[in-house]
Structure 1
Amino acid sequence: MPLTELAPLLKKLSYSDKLLLLHFLIADLLKESGLTPLDVQDRDKVTSQGLHDSFEAAAVLAKALTEEKVATHGR
């Protein structure tokens, strides 16, 4: 079925059905491209690796914010 025929049908979907369709399409695209979305367990693994505790990243961000403040406010 061409997209021109689907578009009017898609517009009639409820908000929650549109979200479910979007989720389905994204998962299908990821599968076709060979990528795997993070599931809940994978997200837990990523956060447990200490990425949120990166002092180096915090220092880089602090420096960038300071430079932006100087550029914006002159101090």
Structure 2
Amino acid sequence: MPLTELLPFLRELSYSDKLLLLHFLGGELLKDSNLTPLDAQGKVASQGLHDSFEAAAVLAKALAEEKVATRG
């Protein structure tokens, strides 16, 4: 079915259905490009870095070491 035939139906979709369609099409484009969506890469992608206390501790330590190294 050509896109010109689909457009009228797509315009009638609800907001949430349009978002689902956008998500679906994005996934299809990633598959066609042999890329992996972020949400399919495992735990790190699903667990936001802003929620990682361990990552925050490592960053704080690195910043403290950098501060000591640059200011003596």
TM-score by length of 2: 0.59
Shift of 1:42: 3.1
Partner of 1:33: 33
- Sequence identity percentage: 60
Which segment is superposed worse, 34-43 or 23-32? 34-43
**Partner letter of residue 44 of structure 2?**
D
Structure 1 portions without partners, runs of 5+: 56-75
Structure 1's consecutive aligned runs of 4 or more residues displaced over 6 angstroms after TM superposition are none
- Asked if 1:10 corresponds to 2:15, the answer is no
1: distance between equivalents of 2:9 and 2:44?
A: 35
Cα displacement string for residues 11-53 of structure 1 (whole angstroms, at most 9, x for unaligned residues)? 0000000000000000011011000011162323x83595xx4
Aligned residues: 53
- Unpaired runs of 5+ residues, structure 2, are 64-72
**Per-residue deviation at 1:7?**
0.4
Partner amino acid for 1:38? L
Q: Cα RMSD over matched residues?
A: 2.6
